[in-house]
Amino acid sequence: MLDLATALELDGDRPRMSVDFVLPDGVVYLDGNSLGAMPVQARERARRVVEEEWAVGLIRSWNEADWVSLARQVGDRIGRLVGAQPGTVIACDSTSVNLYKAAGSAMSHADGPRVILTDSANFPSDLYVLGSIASARGWELRTVRPERVVDALADGVGVLAVTQVDYRSGRRHDMEAVTRRASELGVVTVWDLAHSAGAFDVQLDVCGVDYAVGCGYKFLNGGPGAPAFIYVSAGRQAEMSNPITGWFGHARPFDFDPEFRPAEGIDRMRVGTSHVLSLSVLDAALDTFDVVDREEVWLRGAGLVSHLLDGFDALGLDVITPRDPAERGSQASFRHPLSYAIVQALIDRGVIGDFRTPDVARFGVAPLYSSHRDIAIALAQLSDVLANEDLDAHAVSRGEVT
């Protein structure tokens, strides 16, 4: 199990890949897969957009501060992190709304049976969205176990819509292999990158993905409620259709034409006015990826997760995250009947992870700011909690045990 002395040696004089994050003293933050930490640049950008661009520039800032092109600018920056060429990603709306748009467009030109395939470990919100649009259009939403997705593609499917990384276990679908098989069968693909973008290397264009969505507030560190993004491959853009038509998806939104004419390119997937305040903060947060070697970042993150998993093994925990870095996201999870109490006890000790029902303790590693020191401290505190805490009492105090 990683000890503090070894951790400090591994970190060297750079405990983080980037030091430009606001993190409280005495806190080990391992929940960036729920909400990323605040980059220093984001705080300054928030001040500038509020106190200068909005307060002083007023409506002129749509042009003078270039608010009008911010969604495309941020989209292209995210695109560079997920292996997408310019003009194929735009930042807007929420992940759920973008999933509805992506699935709706995929359904409109799918040649296969009227079936959307997903997996049973998918994030509940994704299941709700997919179920909603399937019901509205008279399609079937078919759910299979994650390990059966590839085989199930041959059972008559029009659209595949899955999340690359399981939010509970951290298990990762092989995007390239799954997409290749889907393409061979004429199945249109929609990938959710909520736990992928900013956590490890993603190559949408190389893998031949048709559509993808993701959020800005987890590993991209854009702040609570940060805008999400949507990707449409260059090959799908001529035929894509947005099921939610709004004025910013119009070919000429400022003509105020009563008849809708869809915009060319990725702008077609926009709906309403950009959320300028939060979009500006996300834009600034992406600066942190410009000052690091991304390949080094991805390797570092994978190594940190491996140290966590090794520590869980040493403590005899029921680990549910794959050991192979190619088969997982940037998190480590274990099952325990008192996971909620364990996580709460750790939070009381300054180690912030999170709990997912019914019995999963989950710890996210953000490669930009997580350190070996963080992992060593978290494991030491976890060992002490398991050995010394009255976990039943801890859970009762929070109403988890009756």
Q: Catalytic residue positions?
A: 123, 192, 217-218, 362
**Can you tell me whether residue 82 is helix, strand or coil?**
coil
CA distance 60 to 316: 61
The number of helix segments (H) and strand segments (E) in the chain equals 14, 15
Residues near 325 by beta carbon (within 8 Å), at least 6 away in sequence: 302, 305, 306
* Type of residue found at 182: A
Determine contact, residues 248/270, Cβ cutoff 8 Å: yes
Determine contact, residues 79/231, Cβ cutoff 8 Å: yes
**Can you tell me whether residue 39 is helix, strand or coil?**
strand
What are φ and ψ of residue 19, in 5° steps?
A: -90, 5
Using alpha carbons, select from 292, 333, 313 the residue that is nearest to residue 34.
333
What are φ and ψ of residue 59, in 5° steps?
A: -65, -20
